[in-house]
């Protein structure tokens, strides 16, 4: 069947969207979006961060109401006022940010989205049977808070399948999986398609879309820019549809000269789990030299956040020598004193960790630099030289091309990409000898991401040591000189980029390296 | 009917300034309704409440006497709440400050010179701070909820004061009435302008404290630290600020100022240690802090407004036979309206009368 | 042995208002809302219950009035914290201040006036069984309500789908919203229930415990109820145990005061408050217990995207 036949054969369409518009304040998140889905297809919804994909699917699932346009289900116009109604129609959803409850069991989590009053025990049995039949084993009585990210996604999928939907919406499902887990997911999806279900697959990963999807709708700035058959496109043609302009390719020259001086030295770093749901760190050792970028891969929740806190000094170690920065034992020093060694840190969360949401950008500049730039920013009696701070903030805004709506706006009013550029720029402005970054481009648009990656490479080439923690393997392969993998609180040896493949790194992410303990033996101290 | 909130991209500067006034206006409207319901002429009652106490100089002095403790406590509380530490035990810290400062004239009645009063004030501050340190210690050491512990200590302090005033500190020459000896002149906080009225120097201390704390909040890295840790604790930790130390700082400062207010009240307005020394200043100051938008200078203005409700309540009882309890209702309503109006700063509020969606 | 039964009876009477108020607040907190206004709602319940009973002569109308008054006051809290997304701590405090102020105003004419006592149930025969008869079959009706309430809340929270949904809202309101659960609807219902419970607890004070109206007669019991919820780590049966523990402390210090012992009465009176602090320290020091059991979205305002 060709595309043209599918769109004209009205009785065959499962879902048809005509002219859907959604406005937030002055921003048109969706502007006259049209597309349709037929039974038994995997339909990709492509677009970069901020293109309006999530807004669109929230309207399809009844979480948001459109301001204009029509949604037709099996040819009939429908108003989907809430998720219950979407489920009643036969629409199921697997969320990107899981909608799960940590303190409840798997079965209870599933029960909450089933509208009728089936006893929990029946639900548990059904869920278990279904999960095994799809090869996604689940224990219905385990507490969700204790499960890994991959297992959590299984709950979402099983929960969705138990509602026997005709259309399954998956929002960026592979962003939290290892390559091998993603393969497993693709098998499941293809099997579902063969059973006659339709799938709306949202992603910005072009390779998987090309591999699996039958048709694609591309969104840019809230508008549909193309309908196409992804198998007939190339990754770069899809990318230019998504982004509009040519994306500046990140350039990574090979590092020159021999290995530089060791700037970051982590020796046998261990840390007990701080809360029942946290991950302990197990005997981590790592060296990062001047001039190189070391990437740390891993599925979310394998101790990356805990590792970052231990390196940054937000949490102190018992042994001073477990973290050495520029030859100084800093294990027992706080973050301010670690910064004074010439180290800069960028955490994963932008709002509420890297920046205070309701504070102005200039105040957020002061946030990480009042101590390192004390002589410039502070006057007698601890008074703040606001002129100097504002000038520095302006400098960063210009240097990183931060787009903003006001002179010195609140951090929360910036888009994710612009705020991240500001936060990275705030640290680069210090010209740090060491930079430690957690998820540098998470949720950032392609243009900003390229700029940030380029900046990190250039920093390394200018003689600094750069440590990047990321869940985005493409990103790590693009910028790293070597990649280490975190799994279950332990870290593998760095694999030089010339020897690393997606498959080998993916296996490490899944914990295949000998000597690793199994995941469910999580210790709580 | 339902209320929808739409987040503003930026805090509204307009409503930041207007919200306390809208809240005051709403309180006046509510007041008129209450007076009508009580069968009193609403306009006359409001006049007695909010205008009459301002018409004579001696009354302004009375206003200052009431406003002084409210402002002093509220200035400390505004720092505390800004840093996201919830000290609601200022009443107890006020009492302990009063007791600690009174130790000098009661235990050393012979010690009367220019040092007496400064030492008493110092003791008062220290007593309040020590009382404030208890919930701070429990919070940092045992992770105990400071709201509950600081409040429980209010009852303990009240009972402790009662015991002192009826027991060990009771004036032997006092005909068995509870209360200590009357303080000698060297232990009394002086009046500012004795020929015009009885306001003591407490109000001066309060305003000076407000200005100093305002300067700190506005212009120094300490103020920045307080705001960051209050708004976003994790960002504060990333900045290298210690939330542990902040808990102590906030509780010692707010407790100390409450204690200073306590000794000023005892040594200035009362002149002896009695079994009760506060008509709930420590609680009313919570309202003052919020009405002042957690800004120390705002607390000065708000302190006078709340002091007015105390005086107006007394006046209305004498002139119109309206219970002075109504003043407490006013105070409670005012805080409600202030909190409600503050929503306008961050959100646009839309009232939807009929659901446009059909389920 | 008669003395033992009498002491147990007075403990039950002291524990009942704490149990009811804390059980209501437990449901509120399980939905993710922290209402610090328990003291205010309780004192309003006490005065309205007293006034309605005194005016009509019927304690049952008093109870009804107390429940309605507590719920109405909590509605004010709900509108502010849920619909207007105000700070729950500050709003709860203002509810307490307003409740104390209002109760003083309403109750002014009733100070010193004779109260109406809610009579004890007396099942002939059964209540005369030695040792346990009066304890089981001869107490006031609100006591039986408090026990039924405890059982009911346990059943509701852990045996019904609605209870499960309520807990899910308290655990993660964003997830609940994404699944189409009405977060604000559940929270409104929980807050109103908590208000009604606090009102009933107040009525017990002014109709059973001491059938009269005294200003501020709750004397911090609302706050102790809040502490009990933490102490119980959000488990209903532990609230029951905690309430009776505090009932015992209260009665113990009253007996000690009566006997003298030369201990200042003020020190004895402060025992329940000091005990609250001690208990909070013991429970909160155990981070594992508190972190595991605290409803994860407790105290956080929820504003859905539009």
Predicted model pTM = 0.91
CATH class of C2-293: mainly alpha
Contacts of C280 in chain B (CB under 8 A): 138, 142, 144-145, 148-149
Residue A276 is nearest to which of C172, C181, C288, comparing CB atoms? C288
Q: Which residue has the tokens 């099983």?
A: A158
Average pLDDT over residues C140-164: 94
| CB of C210 closer than 8 Å to CB of C41 | no
Q: What is the pLDDT of residue B290?
A: 93
Residue spans per domain, chain B: 2-352
What is the arithmetic mean of pLDDT over C51-65? Answer: 94
Q: Which helix H or strand E contains B303, and what residues bound it?
A: helix B296-320
Q: A368 with A482, same domain?
A: no
Asked if residue A497 and residue A377 are part of one domain, the reply reads no
**Mean pLDDT within C82-91:** 93
Model confidence at A513, pLDDT cuts 50, 70, 90, reads low
Distance from C26 to chain B by nearest Cα, in Å? 16
Model pLDDT for residues B185-199, shown as the tens digit of each residue: 999 998 988 888 889
A416 and A501 assigned to the same domain:
no
What residues are paired with A170 via a beta bridge?
A94, A201
- pLDDT value of residue B233: 93
CATH 1.20.140 fits B2-352, yes or no: no
- Tell me the per-residue pLDDT of C158-176, one tens digit each, with 9 for 90 and over: 999 999 999 999 999 999 9
Asked if the structure places residue A329 within a domain, the reply is: yes
Chains that touch C (3 or more CB pairs under 8 A): A, B
Task: Give me the mean pLDDT over the C52-74 stretch.
Answer: 95
Whether A397 and A302 map to the same domain: the answer is no
| Residue B305 structure tokens | 């407004």
Report yes or no: C231 and C19 within 8 Å, Cβ to Cβ.
Answer: no
For residue A168, name the pLDDT band (cuts at 50, 70, 90).
very high
Pick from B315, B327, B305: nearest CA to B44:
B315
pLDDT digits (tens, 9 = 90+) for A220-235: 888 999 999 988 988 8
Would you place residue C184 in the very low, low, confident or very high pLDDT band (cuts 50, 70, 90)? very high
Res A257: pLDDT: 60
Domain CATH for A34 = 3.40.50.300
Please check the confidence at residue A37 and state whether its pLDDT lies above 50: yes
Q: What is the pLDDT of residue A424?
A: 96
| Phi, then psi, of A311 in degrees rounded to 5 | -75, -40
Please report residues of C whose CB lies closer than 8 A to that of A112: 164-165, 168, 176, 179, 181
Q: In the predicted model, what is the mean pLDDT of chain A?
A: 88
Domain with A486 in it = 260-342+434-513
Distances (CA, A) of B38 to A347, A436, B328, C85, C99: 60, 67, 15, 32, 18
Last residue of a domain, one of A209, A243, A277: A243
According to the model, what pLDDT value does residue A246 have?
63
| Of residues B222, B231, B235, nearest to A382 (C-beta) | B222
List the domain boundaries for chain C. 2-293
Interchain proximity A363–B238, CB inside 8 Å: no
- Residue with the bigger pLDDT between B337 and A150: it is B337
- Give the separation between CA B262 and CA B93, rounded to whole angstroms: 8
Give dist(CA B86, CA C36) in Å, integer: 12
C211 near C120, Cβ under 8 Å?
no
Integer Cα distance of C284 and C282 in angstroms: 6
Do the domain assignments include residue A136?
no
Phi-psi region of C196 (alpha: psi -120 to 50; beta: other; left: phi over 0): alpha
At residue C253, the pLDDT reads 87
The Cα–Cα gap between A152 and B76 comes to 46
Exposed e or buried b for every residue in A333-365, given b needs 16+ CB within 10 A?
Answer: bbbbbbbbbbbbbbbbebbbbbbbbbbbbbbbb
pLDDT value at residue A248: 66
Is residue A273 located within the same domain as residue A404? no
Probe site for chain C from B336, B337, B350, B357 (most C CB atoms < 10 A): B336
In angstroms, the separation between the Cα of residue C87 and the nearest Cα of chain B is 8
Tokens matching residue B159: 């009972």
Whether A5 shows a pLDDT value over 70: the answer reads no
Count of A–B CB contacts within 8 Å? 80
pLDDT tens digits in sequence order for chain B, 359 residues long:
788 888 887 788 889 889 999 999 999 999 999 889 888 888 988 998 889 889 889 999 999 999 999 999 999 999 999 999 999 999 999 999 999 999 999 999 998 999 999 999 999 999 999 999 999 999 999 999 999 999 999 999 999 999 999 989 998 888 888 999 999 999 999 898 888 888 999 999 999 999 999 999 999 999 999 999 999 999 999 999 999 999 999 999 999 999 999 999 999 999 999 999 999 999 999 999 999 999 999 999 999 999 999 999 888 888 888 888 888 898 999 999 999 998 998 898 888 876 544 33
Q: Between these two residues, B66 and A514, which has the higher pLDDT value?
A: B66
Measure the CA–CA gap between A16 and A35, rounded to whole angstroms: 6
How confident is residue A1, by pLDDT bands cut at 50, 70 and 90? very low
Cα(B84)–Cα(A228) distance, rounded to whole angstroms?
53
Average pLDDT over residues A443-452: 85
Write the CB contacts of C128 (distance below 8 Å, at least 6 apart in sequence): none
What local confidence, expressed as pLDDT, does residue A260 receive? Answer: 85
- Residue A525, pLDDT score: 37
Dig out the tokens for B98 from the structure.
């009063």
**Cβ neighbours of A87 in C, within 8 Å:** 180
B281 vs B304: CA distance, rounded Å: 13
Structure tokens of C176?
């609940």
**What is the reported pLDDT for A207?**
84
Euclidean distance between CA atoms B106 and B126, whole angstroms: 17
Unique residue bearing structure tokens 């020598």: A321
- Residue A2 predicted with pLDDT over 50: no
Note whether A396 and A455 are same-domain residues. no
- Residues A366 and A507 grouped into a single domain: no
Are B262 and B128 in contact, with CB atoms under 8 Å apart? yes
Higher pLDDT, residue A514 or C125: C125
Closest chain B residue to the Cα of C263, Cα to Cα: B163
CA distance A522 to chain C (A): 15
Look at residue A52 in the predicted model and tell me its pLDDT.
87
Three-class SS of residue A324? strand
Q: Give the CA count within 13 Å in the CB-facing half-sphere of A500.
A: 28
Q: Measured between CB atoms, does B281 come within 8 Å of chain C? A: no
Q: Are residues A326 and A448 in the same domain?
A: yes
- Sheet with strand A215-220: strands edge to edge: A91-94, A167-171, A198-203, A42-46, A215-220, A223-228
The DSSP string of A183-243 is: HHHHHHHHHHHHTT-EEEEEES-HHHHHHH-SEEEEEETTEEEEEE-GGGS-HHHHHHHHH
First-to-last alpha carbon distance for chain B, in angstroms, is: 15
pLDDT on residue A413: 85
pLDDT at C2 over 80: no
């Amino acid at each position: 069947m060709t595309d043209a036949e599918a769109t004209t054969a009205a009785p065959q369409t499962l879902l048809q969207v005509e002219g859907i518009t959604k406005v937030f304040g002055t921003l048109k998140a969706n502007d006259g979006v049209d597309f349709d889905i037929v039974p038994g297809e995997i339909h990709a919804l492509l677009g970069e961060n901020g293109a309006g994909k999530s807004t669109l699917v929230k309207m399809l699932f009844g979480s948001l109401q459109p301001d204009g346009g029509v949604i037709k289900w099996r040819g009939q116009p429908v108003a989907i006022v809430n998720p219950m109604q979407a489920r009643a129609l036969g629409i199921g959803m697997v969320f990107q940010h899981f909608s799960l409850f940590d303190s409840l069991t798997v079965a209870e989590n599933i029960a909450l989205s089933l509208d009728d009053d089936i006893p929990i025990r029946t639900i548990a049995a059904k869920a278990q049977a279904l999960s095994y039949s799809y090869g996604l084993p689940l224990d219905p009585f385990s507490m969700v808070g204790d499960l890994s990210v991959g297992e959590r996604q299984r709950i979402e999928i099983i929960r969705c399948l138990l509602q026997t939907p005709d259309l399954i919406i998956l929002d960026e499902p592979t962003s939290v999986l290892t390559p091998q887990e993603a393969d497993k997911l693709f098998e499941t999806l293809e099997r579902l398609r063969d059973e006659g279900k339709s799938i709306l697959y949202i992603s910005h990963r072009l390779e998987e879309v090309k591999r699996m999807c039958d048709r694609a709708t591309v969104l840019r700035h809230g508008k549909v820019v193309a309908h196409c058959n992804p198998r007939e496109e190339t990754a770069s043609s899809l990318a230019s549809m998504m982004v509009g302009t040519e994306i500046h390719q990140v350039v990574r020259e090979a590092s020159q000269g021999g290995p530089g001086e060791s700037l970051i030295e982590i020796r046998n770093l261990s840390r007990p789990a701080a809360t029942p749901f946290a991950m302990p760190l197990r005997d981590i050792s790592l060296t990062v030299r001047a001039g190189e970028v070391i990437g740390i891969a891993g599925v979310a929740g394998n101790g990356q956040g805990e590792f970052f806190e231990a390196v940054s000094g937000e949490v102190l170690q018992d042994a001073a020598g477990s973290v050495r920065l520029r030859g100084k034992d800093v294990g027992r020093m706080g973050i301010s004193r670690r910064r004074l060694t010439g180290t800069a840190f960028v955490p994963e969360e932008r709002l509420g960790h890297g920046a205070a949401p309701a504070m102005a950008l200039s105040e957020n500049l002061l946030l990480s630099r009042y101590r390192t730039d004390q002589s410039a920013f502070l006057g007698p009696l601890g008074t703040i030289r606001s002129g100097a701070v504002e000038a520095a903030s302006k400098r960063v805004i210009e240097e990183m091309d931060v787009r903003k709506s006001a002179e010195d706006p609140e951090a929360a009013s910036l888009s994710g990409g612009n705020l991240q550029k500001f936060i990275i720029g705030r640290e680069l402005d210090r010209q740090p000898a060491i930079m430690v970054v957690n998820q540098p481009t998470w949720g950032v648009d392609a243009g900003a991401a390229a700029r940030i990656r380029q900046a990190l490479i250039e920093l390394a080439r200018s003689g600094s040591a750069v440590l990047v923690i990321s869940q985005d393997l493409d990103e790590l392969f693009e910028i790293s000189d070597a990649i280490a993998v975190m799994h279950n609180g332990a870290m593998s040896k760095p694999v030089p980029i010339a020897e690393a493949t997606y498959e080998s790194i993916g296996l490490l992410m899944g914990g295949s390296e000998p000597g690793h303990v199994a995941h469910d033996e999580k210790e709580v101290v | 009917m339902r209320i929808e909130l739409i987040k503003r991209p930026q805090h509204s500067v307009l409503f930041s300034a207007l919200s306390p006034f809208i809240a005051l206006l709403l309180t006046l409207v509510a007041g008129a309704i209450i007076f009508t319901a009580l069968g009193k002429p609403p306009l006359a009652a409001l006049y007695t409440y909010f205008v009459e106490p301002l018409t004579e100089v001696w009354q302004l002095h009375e206003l200052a006497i009431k406003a002084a403790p409210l402002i002093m406590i509220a200035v400390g509380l505004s720092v505390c709440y800004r840093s996201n530490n919830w000290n609601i035990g200022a009443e107890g810290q006020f009492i302990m400050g009063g007791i600690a400062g009174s130790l000098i004239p009661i235990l050393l009645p012979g010690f009367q010179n220019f040092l007496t009063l400064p030492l008493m004030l110092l003791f008062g501050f220290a007593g309040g701070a020590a009382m404030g340190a208890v919930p701070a210690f429990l919070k940092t050491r045992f992770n105990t909820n400071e709201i509950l512990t600081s409040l429980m200590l209010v009852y303990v302090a009240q009972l402790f004061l009662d015991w002192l005033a009826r027991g060990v500190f009771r004036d032997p020459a006092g005909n068995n009435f509870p209360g200590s000896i009357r303080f000698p002149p060297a232990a009394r906080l002086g009046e500012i302008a004795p020929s015009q009225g009885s306001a003591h120097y407490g109000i001066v201390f309060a305003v000076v404290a407000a200005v100093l704390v305002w300067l700190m909040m506005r212009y120094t890295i300490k103020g920045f630290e307080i705001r960051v840790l209050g708004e976003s604790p994790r960002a504060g930790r990333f900045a290298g600020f210690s939330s542990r130390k902040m808990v102590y700082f906030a509780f010692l400062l707010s407790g100390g100022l409450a204690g200073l207010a306590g000794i000023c009240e005892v040594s200035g307005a009362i002149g002896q240690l009695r079994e009760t020394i506060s008509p709930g200043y420590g609680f009313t100051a919570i309202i003052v802090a919020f009405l002042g938008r957690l800004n120390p200078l705002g607390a000065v203005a708000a302190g006078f407004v709340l002091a007015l409700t105390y005086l107006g309540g007394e006046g209305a009882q004498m002139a119109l036979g309206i219970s002075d309890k109504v003043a407490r209702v006013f105070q409670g309503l005012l805080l409600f309206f202030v909190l409600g109006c503050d929503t306008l700063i961050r959100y646009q509020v839309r009232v939807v009368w009929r659901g446009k969606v059909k389920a | 042995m008669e003395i033992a039964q009498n002491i147990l009876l007075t403990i039950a009477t002291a524990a009942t208002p704490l149990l009811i108020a804390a059980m209501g607040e437990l449901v509120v907190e399980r939905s993710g809302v922290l209402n610090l206004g328990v003291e205010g709602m309780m004192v309003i319940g006490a005065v309205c219950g007293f006034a309605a009973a005194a005016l009509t002569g019927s304690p049952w109308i008093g109870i009804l009035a107390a429940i309605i008054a507590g719920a109405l006051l909590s509605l004010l809290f709900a509108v502010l914290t849920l619909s207007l997304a105000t700070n729950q701590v500050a709003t709860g405090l203002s509810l307490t201040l307003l409740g104390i102020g209002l109760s003083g105003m309403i109750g002014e004419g009733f100070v010193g006036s004779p109260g109406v006592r809610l009579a004890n149930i007396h099942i002939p025969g059964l209540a005369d069984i030695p040792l346990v008869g009066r304890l089981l079959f001869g107490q006031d009706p609100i006591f039986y309500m408090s026990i039924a309430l405890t059982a009911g809340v346990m059943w509701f929270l852990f045996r019904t789908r609605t209870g499960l949904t309520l807990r899910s809202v308290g655990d993660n309101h964003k997830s609940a919203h994404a699944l189409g659960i009405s977060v604000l609807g559940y929270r409104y219902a929980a807050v109103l229930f908590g208000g009604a419970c606090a009102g009933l607890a107040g009525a017990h004070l002014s109709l059973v415990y001491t059938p009269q109206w005294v200003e501020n007669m709750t004397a911090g019991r609302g706050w102790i109820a809040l502490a009990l919820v933490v102490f119980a780590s959000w488990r209903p049966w532990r609230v029951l145990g905690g309430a009776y523990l505090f009932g015992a402390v209260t009665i113990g210090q009253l007996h000690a005061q009566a006997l003298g012992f030369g201990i200042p009465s003020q020190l004895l009176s402060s025992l329940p408050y000091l005990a609250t602090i001690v208990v909070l320290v013991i429970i909160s020091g155990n981070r594992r217990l508190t972190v595991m059991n605290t409803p994860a979205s407790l105290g956080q305002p929820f504003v859905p995207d539009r």
